Amino acid sequence: MMIARAIPRFVPAGPDEILRPARPWFIVVTLFFGLLLNLVPMTGLALTFKPDFLALVLLYWCIQEPRYVGVGAAWTTGLVMDVADATLFGQHAIAYAVLAYAAEYFRRRVLRFPLWQQAVQVAALLVVCAALVVLVRAVGGAPVPRWTYFVPPLVGALLWPPLTVLLQWPQRPSRSPER
Amino acid sequence: MRTTPVEPPPFFHRGPSPLTRLTFFGLLSIALMFADTRFGYLEGIRTAVAVVLYPLQRAVQVPGEAVAYVAGYFASKSDLEAENASLQASLTAQAPAAQGYPMIVDENKRLKALLDVQARYPGRATAVGVLYTGRDPFTQKLFIDKGGDSGIKPGEAVIDEAGVVGQVTRVFPHMAEVTLVTDKDHAVPVKVERNGVRSVLYGAGAGRSPELRFMPPSADLQPGDRLLTSGLDGTYPAGLAVARVATVDRDTGQIFARITCAPMAGVDRSEHLLVIGQATALPTRPSEPVEADTAKKGSRRSRRGG
C-alpha cells in the first residue's frame, strides 16, 4: 500500500502538480538514448516513418528545463547528428538551434495546454524545422524531397504525449522520499 | 500552472539572450555549411566524431543481429533444403562458364599482350557488409563496415553480384561512406552493351530513376538495353553492369531524349558488397597547346593595357 502510494501512476501529471527540477545527469542520459534511437539502422517503410527522437527529447528539455538545455546545447547535439547521418555539416545543428529557440519562446504557452494540444503545437514546430532544412539544402543545390519527408515530424508529434509522460515521471512530486 | 519556473529575476546575469545565441549559432552553422561544401575543411572533425560514434552505431545493431542470428539458427530444415537445391542448380548452370573460364582468361591475356593493353583490374577486392543506409533524405548513401584500416580508399567502386552499387566517397578508420548510383550528384560513364554507344548515367535522387542525359532523340537506345561501365573515368573498371534502360521518350520537340534507367544492382537492398580497387591510373591529360594560350593571354593583357 505504501509502495503503491509512493510511485505515481503512469499518466500525465495533473495541472496542479508541481514537478521537481530534473537532475542534469538524467537529461544527459535521455539525450543519449535519443541519439541511440536515431542511430538504429532502418530501411524502407520504417525509415519513412522514423521520427527524429533526439529532436523530440531535446524539445522536451528545452521546454521543461531551459536553464540546462538551450540553443547552445541543441546546436552541439545537432553537430553530432550531422556526423552520424553524414549530412551537411551544420544542417541538423541549425535546425536544432532554431527548435531550441522556438521552444524557449513558446514554452510558457505550450505548457498551459493539455498534452494532445501540446502535440499539435509540437507538430507545427517540427514541420517548420523540417522546412528550414529543406530550404538550407535547396540553397546548396540538393533536390527537394518528396512529401513523405514531412511524415516523420508528424509521427514525432504523435509521440509527444507518451514521451512527456515518460520523461516527467522521475520528476513527479509524490515520488519524493519525504512524502 | 504545471511547473514553478525556477528562473531568477532578470537582474541576475544569465548570459546573452536566446535571440543573440540563436543568431550566433545560426551564423556559425551557415559558416560551417559553407566550409563543408566549398572547401571540405571539416573532414578531420567529421572523422574524429565518427570514430567516437562508431561503438554506439555497432551497439544499436546488436539487438537486430541477435534476432537474425537466433532466427537463422532455428531456420526450418525444408528452407535449408530448398536453398541447397537452388544453390546446387545455379552451380550446375554456371559450371560450363566456370570450367571454360581459365581458358578464356588465358586467351584474353594473350590477346591483351598482343594489343599491348594494360590490365584494367588491379586485382584487389574487399568483401564488405552494409552497416546501415544513410538517413539524409537529400542524398543516397550507405555505410559499409570496413574502412581505412582495410585499405579502402575514396573513389573505389562498390558492386554487388548484379552490378555497380556506387562509389566510396568518405573513408573513416573502421567504416566508409558509399554514394549510390541513384544519388543526385553521382554520374557513371557507361556504354550500351548492344552497340557500344557511350553516355553518362546521372542519378536523380531518392525515388527517381537514374537518367541518361544529353542524348539526341535519334540515339540508338531501346528499353531493355544493358548499360556497362565504359571505364573512361578511371574510377570504375570497364565492363561492370550498371543499369537497364527502362523507358525511352523521344519527343522530337525537345533537344534531348528522356531516357530513364533502372539500376541492375540491388542498390537499396544488397547487404553484401565488394569494393574493387582503383583502376590503374590513366595517363595524364596532355597539356593544352601552349602557344595559343599565351597568345590569347598576351592579347588580353595588351587590350587591357590599351
pLDDT in tens, A34-85: 999 988 877 677 878 889 999 999 999 999 988 888 899 999 999 998 888 8
Confidence of residue B178 (pLDDT cuts 50, 70, 90): very high
In this predicted structure, what is the pLDDT of residue B245? 93
B226 in a domain, yes or no?
yes
Judgement on whether residues B54 and B146 belong to the same structural domain of the protein? no
Judging contacts by C-beta atoms under 8 Å, the chain A residues touching residue B204 are 143
The domain boundary residue, chosen from B76, B93, B113: B76
Determine what percent of chain B is predicted with pLDDT higher than 90: 17
- Taking CA–CA distances from B208, the nearest residue in chain A reads A146
CB contact under 8 A, B25 and A89: no
Same-domain status, B172 and B260: yes
Whether B72 and B127 share a structural domain: no
Q: Searching chain A, which residue's CA lies closest to the CA of residue B56?
A: A36
pLDDT of residue B6: 58
At B298 the pLDDT is: 46
Query: What is the residue extent of each domain of chain A?
Result: 2-173
Q: Is residue B214 part of a domain?
A: yes
Contact A89 B46 (CB under 8 A): yes
State how far the Cα of A177 lies from the Cα of A2, in Å rounded to an integer: 11
Q: How many CB pairs under 8 A join A and B?
A: 141
Measure the CA–CA gap between A19 and A13, rounded to whole angstroms: 8
Please tell me which residue, A165 or A176, carries the higher pLDDT value: A165
Domain contains B36:
yes
- The pLDDT value recorded for residue A73 is 92
B51 lies in the same domain as B194: no
Q: How many angstroms separate the CA of residue B91 from the nearest CA in chain A?
A: 31
Q: Over the stretch B199-222, which tens digit does the pLDDT of each residue have?
A: 999 998 877 889 998 888 888 889
Cβ pair B139:A19 closer than 8 A: no
What is the least distance, in Å, from the CA of A83 to any CA of chain B? 6
Q: Examine the domain organization and report whether B71 and B135 are in the same domain.
A: no
Determine the residue among B136, B139, B209 to mutate to test chain A binding: the one whose Cβ has the most chain A Cβ atoms within 10 Å. B136
Candidates A13, A93, A142; nearest CB to B2: A13
Question: Does residue B143 sit in the same domain as residue B28?
Answer: no
Interface touch B134/A86, C-beta < 8 Å? yes
Look at residues A104, A83, A89, A74 and name the one whose alpha carbon lies nearest to residue A136: A89
Coil vs helix vs strand at B244? strand
Distance CA B189, CA A40 (A): 35
- Asked if pLDDT for residue A1 goes beyond 50, the answer is no
What CATH number is given to the structural domain containing B201?
2.40.10.340
Q: How many CA atoms lie within 13 A of A169 on its CB side?
A: 12
Question: Residue B41 pLDDT > 80, yes or no?
Answer: no
Structural domain contains residue B264: yes
Tell me which residue in A71, A75, A85 faces B135 most closely, judged by beta carbons. A85
Residues of B227-256 as b/e, b for ≥16 C-beta within 10 angstroms?
A: bbbbbebebbbeebbbbbbeebeeeeeeeb
Nearest chain B CA: its distance from A115 CA (Å)? 12
pLDDT of residue A6: 58
Q: Residue B71: what pLDDT? A: 80
Q: Best residue in A42, A48, A88 to probe B by mutation, most B CBs within 10 Å? A: A88
Q: B106 lies in a domain?
A: no
Give the H or E element holding residue B304.
helix B290-305
Q: Residue B264: which domain range?
A: 123-280
> What pLDDT score does A57 carry?
95
CA distance A81 to A96: 10
B161 and B254 both lie in a single domain: yes
Q: Helices marked H in chain A — which ranges?
A: 2-6, 24-39, 44-49, 53-64, 71-85, 91-110, 115-139, 151-168
Whether the per-residue pLDDT at A28 is higher than 90: the answer is: yes
The model's confidence at residue A153, banded by pLDDT at 50, 70 and 90, is very high
Residues in chain B closer than 8 A to A38 (CB atoms): 135
Question: Is B18 in Cβ contact with A71 (below 8 Å)?
Answer: yes
Burial class (CB in 10 A: 0-12, 13-18, 19+), B118: exposed
- The 10s digit of each residue's pLDDT in A81-128 is 888 887 888 889 999 999 999 998 898 888 888 888 999 999 999 999
Domain identity same for B129 and B234: yes
Residues B228 and B167 in one domain: yes
Strands B241-249 and B141-144: unpaired
Contact (CB<8Å) A145/B138: yes
Which residues on chain A are in Cβ contact (under 8 Å) with B25? 71-72, 75, 93-94, 97
| Mean pLDDT score of chain B | 81
Q: Which residue of B has its CA nearest to A111?
A: B2
Tell me whether residue B243 is in a domain.
yes
Number of domains in chain B: 2
Q: What is the mean pLDDT of residues A162-179?
A: 74
For residues B43-61, give the mean pLDDT. 84
Confidence label for B255 from pLDDT (cuts 50, 70 and 90): confident
Instruction: State the Cα–Cα distance between residues A135 and A143, nearest whole angstrom.
Output: 10
Q: Do B268 and A88 touch (CB under 8 A)?
A: no
Task: Give a yes or no: residue B111 inside a domain.
Answer: no
Inside any domain, residue B296? no
Instruction: Render pLDDT for B227-243 as a digit per residue (tens, 0 to 9).
Output: 999 888 778 888 888 99
